[in-house]
Amino acid sequence: MLRDKMTDNIRDRFQEVMDRIRGAAQACGRDPESVRLVVVSKTVGADSVKEAILSGAKILGENYVQEARDKINALSLSDISWHFIGHLQTNKAKYAVRLFDLIHSVDSFKLAREIDKYAGKIAKCQPVLVQVNIAGEATKSGISEEKAVNLVKEISRLENLSIKGLMTMPPFFNAPDRVRPFFAALKVLSGLIRAEQIPNVEMAELSMGMTGDFEVAIEEGATLVRVGTAIFGERS
């Protein structure tokens, strides 16, 4: 059977990323099972996403609600988990709670309250991560490091959502050693929050690391790495 080059590429690249994750975990004495790959499929068509799933992808990460909904409907696969990783507008919260098993990007009480409201309507307890703007960049989403603990405390009182950890998008794209301090800082922050023993809050997950820096993120404690380009190629 003739296979097209693009899908073969996805399979090979997916395997390569999995191997690199395993290698990075083992090299720093971590259980490779403690790191999960979120295959970032924003702007990628359903056929390519399907190929990634056939290659073994278990978690897909999407940035846009409408785009994700179309793909999820087109693929209708039961054992795949879909994560929302982009900036979530409050008016999209009601769709997000129906579509996603984990929302990585909660950075305000207002957004958390909307998620809580719509999760309640479908009797769901929505798992979320709190996105932290760890470098304090003016242009990035995320709560500041200083305000993160208070935000977590506030959100923890909402009944229909539960905080599972933290997420960050550091600066210095493709310069792994310049991002290391930011990954380390997110881990420290997660330890500080854990020490507060806030009811209804787990600090089990650290979502950090992308194509250019996921190995460094794993060395610094990532449990979820979000990788798109290394699997699907450059986005157009």
- The reply to whether 224 sits near ligand PLP by the rule CB under 6 A is no
Q: How far is the CB of 194 from ligand PLP (least distance, A)?
A: 23
Q: Give me the 72-111 binding string for ligand PLP, x by CB under 6 A, dash otherwise.
A: -------------xx-------------------------
Residue 211 contacts ligand PLP per CB under 6 A: yes
Q: How many CB atoms lie within 10 A of CB 153?
A: 15
Tokens of 228: 């798109």
Nearer to ligand PLP by Cβ, of 17 and 93: the residue is 17
Residues of span 31-60 touching ligand PLP by CB under 6 A:
40, 42
Report yes or no: 76 and 52 within 8 Å, Cβ to Cβ. Answer: no
- Min dist CB 140 to ligand PLP, Å, is 10
**Per-residue buried b or exposed e for 30-66, using 16+ beta carbons within 10 Å of the residue's own CB:** beeeebbbbbbbbebeeebbbbbbebebebbbbbebe
Q: Which is nearer to ligand PLP, 136 or 150 (CB)?
A: 136
Q: Where are the alpha helices (DSSP H) in the chain?
A: 5-27, 46-55, 65-75, 93-99, 109-121, 145-156, 176-195, 214-219, 229-232
Rounded-to-integer distance, Cα 187 and Cα 125, Å:
25
Site size toward ligand PLP (CB under 6 A) is: 14
Residue 70 or 159 with smaller CB distance to ligand PLP: 70
Report CA dihedral (168, 132, 167, 27) to the nearest 10 degrees: 60
Find the shortest distance in angstroms from Cβ 206 to ligand PLP: 13
Confirm or reject binding of residue 63 to ligand PLP (CB under 6 A): yes
Cβ(203)–Cβ(165) below 8 Å: yes
Q: For the chain, first and last CA: distance in Å? A: 29
Closer of 107 and 158 to ligand PLP (Cβ): 107
Quick one: tokens of 78?
Answer: 């039961």
Which positions from 132 through 171 interact with ligand PLP, judged by CB under 6 A?
169
229 binds ligand PLP (CB under 6 A): yes
Q: How far is the CB of 205 from ligand PLP (least distance, A)?
A: 14
Least distance from ligand PLP to the Cβ atom of residue 37, Å: 11
Q: Binding residues for ligand PLP, per CB under 6 A?
A: 40, 42, 63, 85-86, 169, 210-212, 226-230
